[in-house]
Structure 1
C-alpha cells in the first residue's frame, strides 16, 4: 500500500479523535492512563485523549484491511486502502453531529 493512501485515513481518524462522543469517556478515565508525573491540565489531557482515540480508530479500522491482505490471493494496495478508509469512516460516524455542530458555529 502506498504511503499517500494513509493520509485520508489519518485525517478522518484525527477528526474522529477530536469530535467523537467517546473522547469524553477517554478523558474521564485519565487517572488510568495519564502519567502521574505530568501535570493534569485539562487541555493536555483532552489532547492526549483525542490522540488515543485517533490511534484506536486507525488500529481498529486496519483489522479488516489486514485480514483482506492476509487472505486474498493477490491483494491490491488500492483495495486495502479503500477497506481501511471505509472502516475509519464507519468508526467515525458518531462524530458527524459534533463536526456539523462545530462547523455551524453552534
Structure 2
C-alpha cells in the first residue's frame, strides 16, 4: 500500500473511533466545559463536537509512535503503517 492509502486508513479509523468510542459519551457529558456559550446547546451539535474531539485525539495519539519512528530513521511507508496501525488499535480498543 502507498503512504497516502495508509494515511486515509488512519483518518477513517480515527473518524470511526470518534463515532463509536465510549470516550465520546464522556466528552459528551462534559459539554459545558468545551461547548461555546453563545451557541444554543442542540443535542446533535454537542454529539458531533464530542465525536470530532475524540476523533482528533485518536489521530494525534496514534501519530506519536509514528513520529518517534520517523525521527529514528524509519521509512515513510513504515511510519504511515505504524500510524494506521495505531489508529486501528484505538478503534479495536473502543469496541472491546
Give the TM-score, by structure 1 length: 0.83
Distance in 2, Cα, partners of 1:78 & 1:69: 10
On the 8 A contact 1:17/1:52 being kept in 2, the answer is: yes
Other-structure match for 1:23: 24
Q: Which runs of 5+ in 2 are unaligned?
A: none
Greater RCO structure (CA 8 Å; 6+ sep): 2
Q: Determine whether 1:82 maps to 2:81.
A: yes
Distance in 2, Cα, partners of 1:10 & 1:62: 11
Q: Which runs of 5+ in 1 are unaligned?
A: 98-106
- Runs of 4+ that moved beyond 2 A: 1-5, 94-97
CA-based RMSD? 1.5
Q: 1:93: how far off?
A: 1.7
Aligned length: 95
On the 8 A contact 2:24/2:51 being kept in 1, the answer is: yes
